[in-house]
């Protein structure tokens, strides 16, 4: 049974930081963070290949966000720095073992993959 439990969302001012946590129970290879803003499609933010540490980022996240894994706690973190108002969204943790690979899963195809397991989401609001 797959379980993904997110925490750590909140409200911050532009330029601030938040750390999201995803406590997972899964046999999937990839854990990723996706987000969906009101009126917009869900999009990938960052992903990690569990156990190997390979990380992948959407262009919007590069240089500002860092994804990491604590295998001892079965938790994946998303450290978000230099937050912008356009980062405001519901952030979802997801798990999958996509045949096309974790990188494409995060950067292009994963948001709509019907085989994803999803957490319940955590809201991030960035004010200007």
pLDDT surpasses 90 at 109? no
- pLDDT computed for residue 121 by the predictor: 96
Which percentage of the chain shows pLDDT scores above 70?
100
The mean pLDDT of 36-61, rounded to a whole number, is 95
Residue with tokens 């995803």: 22
Q: What's the mean per-residue pLDDT of the chain?
A: 95
CA distances from 39 to 3, 35, 36, 64, 94 (A): 27, 12, 8, 24, 20
pLDDT surpasses 90 at 60? yes
Which percentage of the chain shows pLDDT scores above 90?
91
Who has greater pLDDT, 81 or 114?
A: 81
Which H or E run contains 90? Answer: strand 89-96
């Amino acid at each position: 049974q797959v379980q993904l439990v997110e925490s750590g969302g909140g409200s911050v001012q532009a330029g601030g930081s938040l750390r999201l946590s995803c406590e997972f129970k899964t046999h999937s290879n990839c854990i990723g963070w996706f987000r969906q803003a009101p009126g917009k499609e869900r999009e990938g933010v960052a992903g990690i290949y569990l156990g190997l540490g390979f990380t992948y980022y959407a262009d919007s996240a590069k240089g500002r966000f860092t994804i990491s894994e604590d295998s001892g706690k079965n938790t994946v973190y998303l450290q978000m720095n230099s937050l912008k108002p356009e980062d405001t969204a519901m952030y979802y943790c997801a798990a999958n073992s996509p045949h096309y690979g974790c990188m494409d899963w995060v950067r292009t195809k994963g948001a709509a993959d019907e085989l994803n397991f999803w957490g319940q989401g955590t809201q991030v609001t960035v004010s200007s």
